[in-house]
Amino acid sequence: MWKKTRDFLDKLTPAQVITSYYLLAVTVSVLLLRLPGVHKPGVKVDFIDTVFTAISAVSVTGLSVVNISETYSVFGYFVIMAILQFGGVGIMAIGTFFWMILGRKIGLRSRKLIMVDHNQFALSGLVHLIREIIKIIFLIELIGALVLGFHFLNYYPSWEDAMLHGLFASISATTNGGMDITGNSLVPYAGDYFVQLINIILITLGAIGFPVLIEVKQYLFRKREEQEIPFRFTLFTKLTTLTFAGLLVVGTIIILVFEFQHYLKGLTWHKSFFYAFFQSATTRSGGLSTMDVSDFSMPTLLVMSLMMFIGASPSSVGGGIRTTTFALNILFVYHFAKGKMDVKIFNRELHHNDIMKSLVITILATIMCFTSVVLISITDSQHELIEIIFEVCSAFGTTGLSMGITAELSDFGKCILMILMFIGRIGLTSFLFIIGGKEQKANYHYPKERVIIG
């Protein structure tokens, strides 16, 4: 019996493992969210809304059909924090693990051997990695909770309230859960730049990708004798960090320019800057906001939709097509327009397979989101087109920003968003391998370096 189970597990592809984990997590979450005492006294939640909340929390999206602070009890808050942990950190851990196993420069055959026969090794690797990830993320969350908690003593009368808000805010930001118990996201702290900065840092640490965190840790804690030789960050880390920073800066500038004469009109320069800066940072995958995004003008909403569609780094708590996919697209289009077929960056050359993959993922994601918009515009025709586009991109990017229509959507519309959150979270690459049912045939005969996509 145990042998059979192990044989079965051995045959699972990474995509199948991630999907199974996701579906199991959703099931457990639904059960947890139906426990007695989870809701505030007298509150009833429809089953589909519980499922939606569970999927939204497991995929760390944060789109909400209910107001958390009005619906759930303090016990419920803790349940949601737990779900955010195993949704955000769990899937990140599994994704990172498989990337590290598959990313080693070993032949397909020996890799298969490692995966199938030596699964003791793989399992111990997984355990070690998950422990590492949990250690780092918990440390970040703990520091975040303490910093925010002490600061919140300025806002909340009781010690417990301040710490609860600090803890929830820290976990929601670090896992990019995007949920809130203030009842109105971070709008109460719209004038508090300290809270916003801490949130941006926590969101970024969660969304930048776990391989980056590991490498930075290795860089900071390397032994003295190693400090002689220059530390080499991987191409993945350089590319995803640069793209991340680029999107943050460009997003901030675009919001400032587009809203200068509109939402930001008459505000001080620092208030304008922080509105633009925070709303740019949160599109990566955070989903928290310091204002009602539906007050932005059409051009800004379109650009924010695109930025949510791009999403966060691979092997992170975020979704979307991923920063590296976007970077490879831009790099290849640029090189192609100049007549070159090979993409060189940071003294490395990109794999053609990776480029193809990034192009396909982008096109497929575009088709998927377009189809979703069309379908929702059939059943929920009372809503504006931009509202539907924004909500669809938010779900696919597992961002969770909302123009406020999610709760009003038909059950069909909610189902579409749930599917998008699922695919956005596990990544289109994984999703493709579930459908295709086949493992990726990696190509090892180029002297190039691999980059994670989608």
Q: How far is CA 154 from CA 157, 159, 160, 274, 277, in A?
A: 8, 10, 13, 21, 24
Q: Could you please report the per-residue DSSP string of 106-145? A: --HHHHHHHHHTTHHHHHHHHHHHHHHHHHHHHHHHHHHH
Query: Contact between 356 and a copy of itself (CB under 8 A)?
Result: yes
Residue of the chain from 351, 357, 414, 448 that contacts a copy of itself (CB under 8 A): 357
Query: Contact between 62 and K ion (CB under 5 A)?
Result: yes
Closer by beta carbon to K ion, 286 or else 454 = 286
Instruction: Select from a copy of itself, K ion, none the partner in contact with residue 178, using the beta carbon and a kind-dependent cut-off of 5 to 8 Å.
Output: K ion
Q: Which residues make Cβ contacts (< 8 Å) with residue 10, sequence separation at least 6? A: 115, 116, 119
Comparing CA positions, the residue from 319, 284, 326, 285 lying closest to residue 426 is 319
Comparing CA positions, the residue from 55, 91, 84 lying closest to residue 406 is 55
Rounded to an integer, what distance in angstroms lies between the CA atom of residue 268 and that of residue 191?
Answer: 11
Binding to a copy of itself, residues 252-311 (CB under 8 A): 258, 297-299, 302-303, 306
Return the amino acid letter for 229. I
Question: x/- contact string, 234-263, with a copy of itself (CB under 8 A)?
Answer: ------------------------x-----
Instruction: Select from a copy of itself, K ion, none the partner in contact with residue 400, using the beta carbon and a kind-dependent cut-off of 5 to 8 Å.
Output: K ion
Query: Contact between 397 and K ion (CB under 5 A)?
Result: no
Choose the binding region for K ion from 17-25, 307-315, 330-338, 396-404 (rule: CB under 5 A): 396-404
Choose the binding region for a copy of itself from 197-205, 216-224, 338-346, 405-413 (rule: CB under 8 A): 338-346
Return the amino acid letter for 259. E
Question: x/- contact string, 281-300, with K ion (CB under 5 A)?
Answer: ------x-------------
The residue whose two tokens read 């969101």 is 203
Q: How far apart are the first and last CA of the chain?
A: 36
Query: Contact between 336 and a copy of itself (CB under 8 A)?
Result: yes
Rounded to an integer, what distance in angstroms lies between the CA atom of residue 247 and that of residue 428?
Answer: 21
Query: Contact between 360 and a copy of itself (CB under 8 A)?
Result: yes
Query: Contact between 320 and K ion (CB under 5 A)?
Result: no
Closer by beta carbon to K ion, 400 or else 454 = 400
Query: Contact between 410 and a copy of itself (CB under 8 A)?
Result: no
Query: Contact between 16 and a copy of itself (CB under 8 A)?
Result: no
- The angle formed by the CA atoms of residues 175, 178 and 180, to the nearest 5 degrees, is 115
Instruction: Select from K ion, a copy of itself, none the partner in contact with residue 303, using the beta carbon and a kind-dependent cut-off of 5 to 8 Å.
Output: a copy of itself
**Residue 379: CB minimum distance to a copy of itself, A:** 10
Query: Contact between 338 and a copy of itself (CB under 8 A)?
Result: yes
Rounded to an integer, what distance in angstroms lies between the CA atom of residue 409 and that of residue 389?
Answer: 13
Query: Contact between 231 and a copy of itself (CB under 8 A)?
Result: no
Choose the binding region for a copy of itself from 87-95, 178-186, 377-385, 402-410 (rule: CB under 8 A): 377-385
Q: Which residues make Cβ contacts (< 8 Å) with residue 54, sequence separation at least 6? A: 26, 29, 30, 33, 83
Which tokens in the block code for residue 107? 């032949």
Binding site residues, K ion, CB under 5 A: 61-62, 176, 178, 287, 400
